[in-house]
Amino acid sequence: MAVLDSEAIEDPGKPVVVCVDDDQNNLNALGRVLRARCTVLLATSGKQALEIIEQQQDIAAVLADLHMPGLPGAELLARVAHMRPHCRRAVVTGYPESEELISAINAGQIHYVITKPWKLTDLLQVVDQLIHTFKLERDNNRLVDELRTVNTQLREHERILEAQLSERGREISAATEQLAQMGNQLDALTLRDPLTGLYTHRAFQERLREEVARANRYSQPMSLLIADIDQFASVNYDLGYQAGDEILRKIAIILNEDESPDRVRSSDIVARYSGEEFVLLLPETAKPGALTKAARLRDAVAVSTMPGGRKLTLSIGVACLPEDAADPEGLLTAAEAALRGAKRGGPGRVHFFSSGDAGPAASRSRPFGRVREAEVDRFRPYQERMNEVTAILNRDRSLSCLLVDLSRLHKVELDLGVAHHSEIYDHAAAVLDRLRGAVLDPNDLVCRSGDGDGYLVILAPRGAHRIDLEQLASSVERAVEEALSPMVSEVLREQPRITVGAARVLGNSLLRPERLTARLVADASDNARNLRERKAHRDRTTLQDVILGEGLTSVYQPIVDLGTGDIFAFEALTR
């Protein structure tokens, strides 16, 4: 019959180990050494052991003798494996090499073999390992069962949520459709500005994208005008906001009427851009036509009598596709920059976009005057020709340039106006273009400089021939001075005094071509400034020699501004 260790029963937390052996002495020895670690159940036959296992659900391990009458140990452990899969099973035998034992091990019925006579330390170590493995597997199975339960609950929650989301989705779809219909109705109401009746800012943005896409598709020009009412804030302050609204309506009428050649065409788009700013989109209109239209609209506003008896002027910025930009955002940015240039020149100005609009030196604004010739528009800023610049850099592994500094010609603009300065500035571009094939290479790129004070010549690769930059800059300087001398001498009675700087940078795979090009232009600008300062110093030295010289003969000498080095008059002296 089975024997239970009564002392162990009092501690149900101890693991249960069943020991089976037909030899009572061996059985008692096992119970004696294991009772401190676990609850030990003793059985003298395989049948008794099966009865114990049926009654006890949580048995950690079974230690069975291999050869027993009735039910052998291997068969017993096989049944235990079927009844309690997680129970750990070991054989205690003096025949570790028997075929019966080997077959049971191969069948997976036995986890461990304890050889008789067993050593106490080995036995305790094996039993501890069996109990530890049983606990791990039992806890793992418990966690798996808990996870299965939780997963079942989660799947049920997921099914409920999916049903709720599906219902909510149908409600949202219905609400979205209703909102879309209301949005379409609202869009129809907001296409027109309630004050002026012109297109709203949003409607203009949509039409701008459409017209830019159409112009790019059919390779047609397109121009954008941004007009701002000069000193409109003072109108609101002096006459009140109601009078200001009347003036906005009056200017909208002037811009939108089409029965006069001074007004816009029916195909043009007029919108209110912001408070006192208006935009005009002119499809299939190149820059010369846009400048003409802008001047006519400005003049039409200038001669109109506004509410309150005020006379107002418009400042208009002009940008053109594709010369100044290639997308809607770029075109708007260019037109806004042109408007800022017009504002810098004073009220009532028309100004077309150029790369120098970031500073006042590049201003080409003018109240009247001829439209710039189409030929000069070929010399775009170098930023717009980065594809060609990058190709030169990749081919030559370096980049060289000349900077033709025309900043001293601003005196023409100050003394005689923008028109004369523009004519000389454009003529300089034409001169550089003619130098390609003679002094310059036909593949050299002639671009407007970033600050608008001159032109930038990006030198194409010369093959094995090395470029002498100083000699080339000197040759270009002489050629440009000779070409501009008649025009400048006629208006200023002095020589053009052109300075040409030069620079070279080596390719660097770690830097973007734009960064390298910007560094090249900065180096060329520094070189031109240094050359300009040297010339001014040389002029001051010459003037001192004239004043302090002896044995003089009568000559006419220039009078030079010691601060800037500019010649502003001639004086009869003796040398």
Average pLDDT over residues 418-439: 80
Output the pLDDT for position 20. 92
Region 492-516: mean pLDDT is 82
Tokens of 513: 């071509």
| Confidence grade of residue 573 (pLDDT, cut at 50, 70, 90) | low
pLDDT in tens, 224-280: 999 999 888 888 878 888 888 899 999 998 888 754 444 556 678 899 888 889 999
For residue 568, is pLDDT > 80? no
Output the average pLDDT for the chain.
Answer: 81
pLDDT at 62: 92
Token code pair at residue 283: 């499809």
The mean per-residue pLDDT over the stretch 474-497 comes to 79
Q: What is the mean pLDDT of residues 133-140?
A: 88
Q: What are phi and psi of 507, to 5 degrees?
A: -65, 145
Global pTM reads 0.35
Beta strands (DSSP E) in 96-174 are: 112-115
Q: Is the pLDDT of residue 479 over 60?
A: yes
Q: Are 446 and 455 in contact (CB under 8 A)?
A: yes
Q: How sure is the predictor about 383, in pLDDT bands with cuts at 50, 70 and 90?
A: confident
> What value, to the nearest 5°, has the Cα angle with vertex 513 and ends 215 and 440?
85
Q: Is the pLDDT of residue 373 over 50?
A: no
SS3 for 432-475, per residue?
A: HHHHECCCECCCCEEEECCCCCEEEEEECCCCCCCCCHHHHHHH
The Cα–Cα gap between 239 and 495 comes to 52
End-to-end CA, the chain: 146
Give the residue with greater pLDDT, 416 vs 500.
500
Distance CA 400, CA 535 (A): 23
What does the alpha-carbon distance between residue 500 and residue 252 come to, in Å, rounded to a whole number?
A: 48
pLDDT in tens, 101-116: 787 777 767 888 888 8
DSSP 196: T
d(CA 353, CA 364): 9
**What's the burial of 389, exposed, middle or buried (CB within 10 Å: 0-12/13-18/19+)?**
buried
Question: Are 264 and 294 spatial neighbours (Cβ–Cβ below 8 Å)?
Answer: no
In single-letter form, the type of residue at position 442 comes to P
> Which pLDDT value is given to residue 148?
92
| pLDDT on residue 264 | 53
**192-228 confidence digits (pLDDT tens):** 888 888 888 888 888 899 999 888 888 889 999 999 9
**Cβ(56)–Cβ(79) below 8 Å:** no
Comparison of pLDDT for 541 and 549, the residue scoring more: 541
What is the length of the chain? Answer: 575
pLDDT at 363 over 50: no
SS3 annotation, 501-563: EEEEEECCCCCCHHHHHHHHHHHHHHHHHHHHHHHHHHHHHHHHHHHHCCCCCEEEEEEECCC
Q: Are 316 and 294 in contact (CB under 8 A)?
A: yes
State the pLDDT at residue 164: 92
CB 290 within 8 A of CB 301: no
287-308 pLDDT, tens digit each: 888 888 888 888 888 888 888 7
The reported pLDDT for the residue numbered 200 is 86
CB atoms within 10 A of CB 527: 21
| Domains, the chain, with CATH or none | 3-142 (3.40.50.2300), 191-371 (3.30.70.270), 375-534 (3.30.70.270), 541-546+551-574 (no CATH)
Q: What is the pLDDT of residues 75-131, one digit of tens each?
A: 888 888 888 888 888 988 888 777 877 877 777 678 888 888 888 888 899 899 988
- What mean pLDDT comes out for the span 525-533? 89
